[in-house]
Structure 1
Amino acid sequence: MDTFLLALIRENQEEIVNKWLEEIRVLGNENSLRVVSDQLFLNTSREFVHLIITNVENTKEQLSVNLNDFSERIIKLGWPLSYITEGLQQFRKVIHCWLQERETAPAGQLRIMNEVNEWIDPIINHMVNHYSGSWEHTVSMQKMALQELSAPLIPVFDNITVMPLIGTIDTDRARKIMENLLQGVVKHRSEVVLIDITGVPVVDTMVAHHIIQAAEAVRLVGTKCLIVGIRPEIAQTIVNLGIDLSHIITKNSLKNGLESALNMTNRTIVKTSVGENK
């Protein structure tokens, strides 16, 4: 940027910042930012515009590092991309108007516009690209975590494990269920595994096929599989669809399934009375 314009901006930095804050304050009323206190919003916005002004003479590498750090922090705060894009557009507008008030000649105003655009446009492009990439990475990591949690295998007794399934089962999730099931029964040395479908709202042909495949795969590694949580409406659907579960042990509840699993491992539940041996 022209050294004279840069010096002028720096000398009047606080005035420019305050004008910009007046323009950008409306962004703080968006639903996505209402949970942020006014003070935090103002402090972060002030830091944002100071960052833009003070880094104008930095190398591209240093500017990139500083902008990336700021982007990462507002992503963690959950602020929308519009805060960056609209905020920078408002800053461009404020700078244009403020400088043009001091330069009345048309040629000078055109030069100012070009100088400001060459200054602001690369910052917008960089921050949008970094924000988008970071957000996609965050979403990807969250998706992976949810997938891990969507098919947990829980050891409940020695050699007995339970996999509770909740929500809709699609092809991707069915593959994850199969992977976790096979890895888990080997890791926990399970003799019996219970697949609990109490929380699965709909069991159609595809879902039943995936569950049967999982049960067959478990059997091939030497573990017995029970399907539990078959509600009356699910049982009726299975019958109407003509799905054959005759070769798989099924129970209507996790409680009954655990009792059967204990019997399969030569154990039983014994009721005792408090103080019986006294």
Structure 2
Amino acid sequence: MYNKITAHIEDHREELERLWKEQLTSDTDARIIDIMPEHIFESTSSEFFDIILLNLKDKDREYKEKLQSFSDKVVRLGWPVALVVKGLREFVHTVQENLVQYGSIDKEREGDYLELLDKWMTPISNEIIQTYAETWEKTVSLQKMALQELSAPLIPVMEQISVMPLVGTIDTERARLVMENLLDGVVSHRSEVVLIDITGVPVVDTMVAHHIIQAAEAVHLVGAKCMLVGIRPEIAQTIVNLGIDLDKFITTSTMKKGVELALEMTGRKIVELEG
């Protein structure tokens, strides 16, 4: 029974692949298919079919490597895991219907062949999903590390002056990164004045203000001065209503004013050239 199925699949490979792609495309949300260039969808689908067929003959390192490579690819291309699972399910139905069409199996034993196909595809499905999940977790982990590196950069804009632009919500984990990057950056860049720009921070509540105050005090302990810039009117009103004390360090409404003040604090100023 098993040999009959494998022989049929190998003999009718092109037809089965065409039918399988047509069925997968017709049953899948068009938005998922439309975002993929047609040649990418075709080549990836063919590779998917190759991996399924390779499992018939070869379960050694070549199969494992190709399965891992394919999983990496579908994650990068943004294929939902539901589409991968659907592809495996549609493969079973396509092969089963094709076997019946060609009379390769007895009508009364159709259920037995379908059960065999399901049993055959289950370990392949589990292996692909597991590999897909591991690849996705690795990708997410790498993306998280990259975002953390970019979430609180300290930028030396000129000698003795550095800027830390903050964008988005400040949570406890990000506050820790702000503190670490501030202290490391102040020492490595030999900054005397640090400007923390909160223009892109949507909400400044008690917790956010507490984190910023802690950061400013830490900067002061390593011999630098901290300035809070980008305080919008609504942020100023919130700070006042919450009774948050920001008297310990300098605040300005814009980055421009902050840079001008930082230059004065380091014995410099901006002058216009004549002519």
| TM-score, normalised by the number of residues in structure 1 | 0.91
Q: What is residue 9 of structure 2 aligned with on the other side? A: 9
Check whether the contact 1:226–1:249 (CA below 8 A) recurs between aligned residues.
Answer: yes
User: In the alignment, does 2:49 pair up with 1:72?
Assistant: no
Tell me by how many angstroms 1:71 deviates: 1.5
What is the letter of the counterpart of residue 36 of structure 1?
Answer: M
Residue 188 (structure 2) pairs with residue 195 (structure 1): no
Q: Which amino acid aligns with 1:126?
A: E
- Equivalent runs, 1:1-278 vs 2, <5 Å: 2-26=2-26, 29-100=29-100, 101-104=103-106, 106=108, 108-274=109-275
Which whole-Å deviations, capped at 9, do the CAs of 1:174-196 have from their partners, x for residues lacking one?
11111111111111011110111
Q: Deviation of residue 229 (structure 1)?
A: 1.3
Shift of 1:28: 5.8
SS at match of 2:190: coil
1:80-110 CA-partner distances (Å, limit 9, x unpaired) = 112210011000111222234422264x435
The separation in 2 between residues aligned to 1:220 and 1:87, in whole angstroms, is 60
Report the AA paired with residue 104 of structure 1: D
| Aligned-partner Cα distance in 1 for 2:134–2:263 | 50
Structure 1 Cα separation of the partners of residues 148 and 233 of structure 2: 28
- Helix, strand or coil for the counterpart of 2:73? helix
* Structure 1 consecutive aligned stretches of length 4 or more whose deviation exceeds 4 Å: none
CA deviation profile, 1:117-174 (whole Å, cap 9, x unmatched)? 2321111111111111111221221122122212111111101100111122111111
Q: Aligned with 2:56: secondary structure?
A: coil
> In structure 2, what residue type is equivalent to 1:7?
A
Instruction: Specify the SS of the correspondent of 1:56.
Output: helix
Partner SS, residue 264 of structure 2: helix
Alignment partners' CA distance in 1, 2:253 and 2:214: 20
AA aligned to 2:256 is: K
1:223 Cα offset (Å): 0.9
Aligned mates of 1:231, 1:149 — CA distance in 2: 24
* 8 Å contact from structure 2 (residues 166, 197) kept in 1: yes
After superposition, the Cα gap between the structure-2 partners of 1:171 and 1:36, relative to the gap in structure 1 and judged at 3 Å, is same
Query: In angstroms, what is the RMSD of aligned CA positions?
Result: 1.9
Alignment: residue pair count:
273
CA distance in 2, matches of 1:259, 1:216: 22
Q: Does 38-47 or 221-230 show the bigger shift?
A: 38-47
Where 2:157 maps in the other structure, the secondary structure is strand
- Using the TM superposition, name which of 181-190 and 69-78 deviates more: 69-78
Q: Which amino acid aligns with 1:44?
A: T
Which whole-Å CA distance do the structure 1 matches of 2:168 and 2:111 have between them?
59
Residue pair 2:54, 2:63 contacting (<8 A) in 1 also: no
Per-residue CA deviation, residues 199-255 of structure 1 (Å, 9 max, x unaligned), is: 212111111101000000111111111111112221121111111111211112211
Secondary structure of the equivalent of 1:273?
coil
**Structure 1 residues 188, 27: CA separation in 2 closer, same or farther (over 3 Å shift)?**
farther
The whole-number CA distance in structure 1 between the counterparts of 2:37 and 2:239 is 53
Q: Distance in 2 between matches of 1:123 and 1:98?
A: 21
Distance 2:19 2:157 in 1: 63
Alignment partners' CA distance in 2, 1:105 and 1:163: 72
Question: How far, CA to CA, are the matches of 2:253 and 2:54 in structure 1?
Answer: 68
**Distance in 2 separating the partners of 1:254 and 1:117:** 64
